[in-house]
Amino acid sequence: MKIGVLNIQGDVSEHFQMIMHLHKKYNVDPVNVKTIENLHGLSGLIIPGGESTVIYKILKKSGMYEKIYEMAVSGMPVMGTCAGAILISRDTGDNRVNGMNLIDITIKRNAYGRQINSFIQSINIEDIGNFNAVFIRAPGIESPGNSMIMATVNGSPVIVRENNILAMTFHPELTGDNRIHEYFVSMIDN
């Protein structure tokens, strides 16, 4: 089974390593996704954090935006972290970035403040347990819409799921704890 990690910017290598750690247990291999051709044959896709406007422009220019949308609507699981959550949302809160509308959430960019306001907080994630979530210039989920809220911080959703789509406003790849990646792998039909 191949899980793609979108390699435009952000914590690509960290997500890649998380999937590598799951290789023996789940027979999964990470795939570096830099072109539309790299999307072929994937069982799932991770869209990391980074700068959502830059990622959006590159996805649109390369044709990957439409292809990712098509694959996700056809059932391929997609996990978006931080900027990735912005890109897969229904409403990005930014007129420069059209969300893919893969998950019924409304996002607010930099909801927790600037880089200096970054923090780590222990959260209790449904089906996963306690997890030290890393928030870096994190967006906020203003409305979870029809998605299932899996954890909150101060009453605001920080990880949500809707069918084959998983979105979070934090960076699980920076923790050394691969349980969220393992949960994502479990979403994929073998």
> Quick check: is 82 catalytic?
yes
Say if residues 47 and 80 touch (Cβ distance below 8 Å). Answer: yes
- Pick the catalytic residue: 15, 82, 162, 181? 82
In angstroms, rounded to a whole number, what is the distance separating the alpha carbons of residues 147 and 161?
5
> Quick check: is 40 catalytic?
no
- Pick the catalytic residue: 14, 162, 173, 181? 173
Residue 49, phi then psi, degrees to nearest 5: -70, 180
How many CA atoms within 13 Å lie on the side-chain side of 38? 18
> Quick check: is 182 catalytic?
no
* CA-closest candidate to residue 169, choices 109, 113, 95: 109
- Pick the catalytic residue: 14, 15, 162, 171? 171
* CA-closest candidate to residue 40, choices 4, 92, 89, 66: 4
Catalytically annotated residues: 82, 171, 173
